[in-house]
């Protein structure tokens, strides 16, 4: 990328800052909360507004493709079908706002304050979508041309686990042919150090219920003479994990886990990670987890099993002298490469069945909600992204992982599409929390980053083009 090109785009962005902010504010004013079914019309309205913004930015077409849930926006800028195509992924749905009264300004009334824009979804993920739209606009308006084709894919169900994305992708492979995928839905910094994400954990959800009686029974009349499901469930749950070593005790659970190399472990130590502050942010006095691993290894490289809720009897009653009839637990596993979520689901189910006494009624429902992904941390894609990030933020990025899941990434990777996770989020943006915001400087730098990234990648793209057999027809 030439210095002149970067400067031209930077000038364009700075001259148009107010328009960029007002476009993003318009998108954030629509409460596109996918978790609330009654908001479906607003989710759709947000998709429609995004389609209009895509056309204004210079995309040639913008179509809302229906799914069994919320539609997926597919916007295309086709310069020449023989040129490489970059597919950009993001999402226009947002997390619920939580208690609106706790927000400094209302979540769906975007407000500029302290050189930032404050609104639900401004960082996760509408800001990233606007960066890509404006990157195209800036390149077209300041240089008059694009060196390749861009397909923007923005879904409306990421925050509920992308339940329809895989089917959408399979049904539209022809429309979605690409040479590489840029996913912009991640953090881009650890404190002020630029980072690039190379791994995501998968997610398995399990509902377990133990029933021993037809209805709650008086503990004075029946206590001591019948099975108590709360006790049975507590013993079962406790048997799944070693309380001292923090290890999961399910047979075969760790079989396919890939460990970090000694170089990767060393690079983790060099990251500017403020463990104390990070723990303090949730009111924790100290770390606890699987023995033999650091905190970053535990959240990025190791799988885990967590108990999300336990429930039996009436915990709200002043006195509750019963033997409850039923006890329920919700568990989840965060999984890492190369674990197969389907296999771990079977292992978990088998473990629960073998732990339950034969005279209780056990119900188990396990569902895969995301597959783990590990991307190469070296190679031409990473080099190109590294150059773009260094150009815009002045420092080369360090590879990191994320403990969470973005289900579509596994869909892209498994389809053989080289994928990059490039975002500019920061933990202090408060995504998924109250007072979500995005610095306006970072919004503008983000536009510059996406334009620079595209240009860097386009230069190398021909050399690493995906064979036609993998471009959608396979």
| Sign (positive or negative) of CA dihedral 171, 175, 178, 181 | negative
Residues 41-80 that bind Zn ion (CB under 5 A): none
Closer of 183 and 360 to Zn ion (Cβ): 183
Residue carrying structure tokens 């302290």: 114
Q: Please, what is the minimum distance in Å from the beta carbon of residue 128 to Zn ion?
A: 8
Closer of 125 and 445 to Zn ion (Cβ): 125
Closer of 125 and 157 to Zn ion (Cβ): 125
Residues 174-203 that bind Zn ion (CB under 5 A): 185
Phi, psi of 213 (to 5 degrees): -130, 160
Closer of 161 and 384 to Zn ion (Cβ): 161
Tell me if the bond preceding 312 is cis, omega within 30° of 0: no
- Tell me the CA distances in angstroms from 3 to 10, 194, 407, 446, 467, one per residue in order: 10, 21, 37, 17, 32
Question: How far apart (Å, rounded) are the C-alpha atoms in residues 325 and 331?
Answer: 20
Closer of 429 and 456 to Zn ion (Cβ): 429
Q: Please, what is the minimum distance in Å from the beta carbon of residue 131 to Zn ion?
A: 14
Count of residues in contact with Zn ion, rule CB under 5 A: 3
CB 84 within 8 A of CB 462: yes
Closer of 335 and 421 to Zn ion (Cβ): 421
Q: Please, what is the minimum distance in Å from the beta carbon of residue 135 to Zn ion?
A: 19
Name every residue whose Cβ is closer than 8 Å to that of residue 82 and which is 6 or more positions away in sequence.
none
Closer of 59 and 89 to Zn ion (Cβ): 89
CA-wise closest residue to 58 among 127, 141, 177: 141
CB 216 within 8 A of CB 300: no
Closer of 94 and 268 to Zn ion (Cβ): 94
Q: Answer yes or no whether residue 125 interacts with Zn ion by CB under 5 A.
A: yes
Q: Please, what is the minimum distance in Å from the beta carbon of residue 413 to Zn ion?
A: 18
- Tell me the CA distances in angstroms from 319 to 15, 71, 313, one per residue in order: 66, 49, 11
Question: How far apart (Å, rounded) are the C-alpha atoms in residues 255 and 257?
Answer: 6
The most distant pair of C-alpha atoms in the chain lies apart, rounded to whole Å, by 85
Q: Please, what is the minimum distance in Å from the beta carbon of residue 340 to Zn ion?
A: 25
Q: Answer yes or no whether residue 157 interacts with Zn ion by CB under 5 A.
A: no
Residue carrying structure tokens 């590990």: 374
Closer of 409 and 417 to Zn ion (Cβ): 409
Q: Answer yes or no whether residue 124 interacts with Zn ion by CB under 5 A.
A: yes
Q: Please, what is the minimum distance in Å from the beta carbon of residue 158 to Zn ion?
A: 5
Segment near Zn ion (CB under 5 A); pick from 65-73, 125-133, 263-271, 353-361: 125-133
Closer of 299 and 331 to Zn ion (Cβ): 299
Q: Please, what is the minimum distance in Å from the beta carbon of residue 185 to Zn ion?
A: 4
Interstrand relation of 180-183 and 419-421 (parallel, antiparallel or unpaired): parallel
Q: Answer yes or no whether residue 429 interacts with Zn ion by CB under 5 A.
A: no
The CB density around residue 404, as the number of other CB atoms within 10 Å, is 15
Q: Please, what is the minimum distance in Å from the beta carbon of residue 163 to Zn ion?
A: 15
The CB density around residue 91, as the number of other CB atoms within 10 Å, is 29
Name every residue whose Cβ is closer than 8 Å to that of residue 30 and which is 6 or more positions away in sequence.
42, 45, 46, 49, 108
Query: Which tokens hold the place of 187?
Result: 């953090």
Segment near Zn ion (CB under 5 A); pick from 118-126, 173-181, 229-237, 245-253: 118-126
Question: How far apart (Å, rounded) are the C-alpha atoms in residues 128 and 431?
Answer: 13
Output the CA angle 181-428-49, nearest 5 degrees: 50
Question: How far apart (Å, rounded) are the C-alpha atoms in residues 469 and 176?
Answer: 14
Q: Answer yes or no whether residue 297 interacts with Zn ion by CB under 5 A.
A: no
CA-wise closest residue to 223 among 323, 154, 142: 323
Closer of 393 and 431 to Zn ion (Cβ): 431
Q: Please, what is the minimum distance in Å from the beta carbon of residue 438 to Zn ion?
A: 13
Question: How far apart (Å, rounded) are the C-alpha atoms in residues 461 and 71?
Answer: 30
Segment near Zn ion (CB under 5 A); pick from 50-58, 116-124, 211-219, 308-316: 116-124
Segment near Zn ion (CB under 5 A); pick from 119-127, 238-246, 264-272, 285-293: 119-127
Q: Please, what is the minimum distance in Å from the beta carbon of residue 370 to Zn ion?
A: 13
Q: Please, what is the minimum distance in Å from the beta carbon of residue 91 to Zn ion?
A: 6
Which residues of this protein are in contact with Zn ion, per CB under 5 A? Answer: 124-125, 185
């Amino acid at each position: 990328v030439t210095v002149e090109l970067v400067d031209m785009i930077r000038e364009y962005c700075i001259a148009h800052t107010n328009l960029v902010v007002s476009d993003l504010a318009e998108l954030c004013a629509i409460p596109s909360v996918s978790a609330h079914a009654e908001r479906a019309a607003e989710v759709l309205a947000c998709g429609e507004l995004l389609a209009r913004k895509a056309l204004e930015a210079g995309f040639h077409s913008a179509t809302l493709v229906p799914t069994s849930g919320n539609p997926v926006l597919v916007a295309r800028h086709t310069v020449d079908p023989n040129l490489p195509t970059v597919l950009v992924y993001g999402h226009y749905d947002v997390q619920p706002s939580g208690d609106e009264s706790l927000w400094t300004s209302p979540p769906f009334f975007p407000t500029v304050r302290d050189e930032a824009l404050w609104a639900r979804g401004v960082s996760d993920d509408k800001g990233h979508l606007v960066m890509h739209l404006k990157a195209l606009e800036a390149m077209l308006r300041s240089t008059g041309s694009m060196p390749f084709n861009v397909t923007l894919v923005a879904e409306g169900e990421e925050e509920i686990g992308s339940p329809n994305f895989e089917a959408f992708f399979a049904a539209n492979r022809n429309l979605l042919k690409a040479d590489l995928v840029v996913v912009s839905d991640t953090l881009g910094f650890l404190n002020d150090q630029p980072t690039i994400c190379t791994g995501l954990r998968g997610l398995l959800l399990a509902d377990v219920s133990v029933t021993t009686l037809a209805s709650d029974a008086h503990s004075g009349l029946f206590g001591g003479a019948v099975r108590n499901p709360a006790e049975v469930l507590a013993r079962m749950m406790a048997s799944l994990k070693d309380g001292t070593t923090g290890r999961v005790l399910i047979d075969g659970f760790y079989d396919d886990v890939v460990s970090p190399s000694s170089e990767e472990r060393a690079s983790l130590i060099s990251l500017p990670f403020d463990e104390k502050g990070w723990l303090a942010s949730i009111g924790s006095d100290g770390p606890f987890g699987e023995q033999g691993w650091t905190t970053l290894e535990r959240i990025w490289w190791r799988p885990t099993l967590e108990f999300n809720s336990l429930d039996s009897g009436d915990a709200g009653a002043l006195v509750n002298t019963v033997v409850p009839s039923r006890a329920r637990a919700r568990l989840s596993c965060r999984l890492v490469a190369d674990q197969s979520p389907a296999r771990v689901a079977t292992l978990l189910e088998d473990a629960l069945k073998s732990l339950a006494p034969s005279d209780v009624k056990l119900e188990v429902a396990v569902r895969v909600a995301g597959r783990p992904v590990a991307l190469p941390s070296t190679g031409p894609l990473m080099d190109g992204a590294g150059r773009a990030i260094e150009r815009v933020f002045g420092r080369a990025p360090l590879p990191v992982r994320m403990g969470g899941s973005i289900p579509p990434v596994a869909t892209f990777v498994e389809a053989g599409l080289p994928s990059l996770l490039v975002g500019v989020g920061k933990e202090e943006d408060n995504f998924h929390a109250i007072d979500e915001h995005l610095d306006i400087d970072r919004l503008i730098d983000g536009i510059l980053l996406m334009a620079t990234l595209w240009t860097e990648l386009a230069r190398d793209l021909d050399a690493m083009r995906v064979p036609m057999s993998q471009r959608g027809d396979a």
